[in-house]
Amino acid sequence: MNSEELREIITAAIADRPRDGRHYCHLCWWGDRLRCLPTQHTQEKHEIFFMAQDDVLEAGLSQRQIDLIAERVQAFCSRRGIRLTRARQRPKAKAPAAAERELQITDFDMSRLQAFLNQLDGHDASRQAEAAQLQTVLAKANVVPSRDIPDDVVTLNSKVRLLDDRSNESMVLSLVFPADGVSDGDLEEANVSVLSPMGASLLGRHVGERIEKSIRVDALLYQPEAAGDYHL
């Protein structure tokens, strides 16, 4: 691989990073390929080539910085006997064409949520009502492989920021599996169960969509799939 191709791979990895605008990201070797991920994406020791704040990456690196990164990546690949190739790019978010877009759910989320719903106790009336709402969401959704889910879609274990357009107040919450969630009554940076009304309305939604008349998904602060955490 020549230096120009290597620079293209580095530039593509930076462009494909999860976006927040506030956190630090590093260019690293993760999941058998070059990735640009939030610095806190894992506690595991791994090769890191460069780190910068997200807004610095958004503004663009200098040619000298790209060349230095390329030298580090090339040296790492030479030591490990790695033949670097262009990875298939994950689909990027597109601006919403309408107020509501197609629901998208990963195959992994679909299988474990369906298994959970199938084993629910039929005597628990309140849970059955919540389960019916979630089942409706699953039935309407388009199932997508985890590695192909766009990076603006809310998946299980995603961290999202919601904005109330009337009050201009925001709330941050994580969408979690039912056993890890809390009720909708505590939404000040909480874990919200996908089985709750709020959770079910979030699953599969895109950034920019409204889940209630005045509440919309303002930002996706963390998505497991975008960070390469396909086990979450």
Report whether 189 contacts 171 (CB < 8 A): yes
41-99 pLDDT, tens digit each: 888 889 999 998 888 888 888 888 999 999 999 999 999 888 887 655 455 555 444 44
pLDDT confidence of 156, banded at 50, 70, 90? Answer: very high
Mean pLDDT, the chain, whole residue set: 83
**Is the domain of 28 the same as that of 123?**
no
| Residue 176, pLDDT above cutoff 80 | yes
Q: Is residue 62 part of a domain?
A: yes
| Residue 217, pLDDT above cutoff 70 | yes
Calculate the dihedral angle through the C-alpha atoms of 83, 86, 91, 95, rounding to the nearest 10 degrees. 140
179-206 pLDDT, tens digit each: 655 444 444 458 899 988 899 999 999 9
Q: Is residue 16 part of a domain?
A: yes
| Residue 108, pLDDT above cutoff 90 | yes
**Is the domain of 33 the same as that of 66?**
yes
Sign of torsion over alpha carbons 106, 112, 114, 120: negative
**Is the domain of 181 the same as that of 214?**
yes
What's the predicted TM-score (pTM) here?
0.57
Closest CA to 13 of 75, 46, 61, 45: 61
3-state percent breakdown (helix, strand, coil) of the chain, nearest 5: 35, 25, 45
Q: Is residue 91 part of a domain?
A: no
Q: What are phi and psi of 113, to 5 degrees?
A: -70, -40
| Residue 1, pLDDT above cutoff 50 | yes
Identify the three-state secondary structure at position 6: helix
Query: Cα(54)–Cα(24) distance, rounded to whole angstroms?
Result: 6
Closest CA to 215 of 173, 155, 157: 173
Q: Is residue 99 part of a domain?
A: no
Report whether 69 contacts 77 (CB < 8 A): no
Q: Is residue 95 part of a domain?
A: no
Confidence (pLDDT) at 178: 80
| Residue 4, pLDDT above cutoff 90 | no
Domains contained in the chain, number? 2
Q: Is residue 210 part of a domain?
A: yes
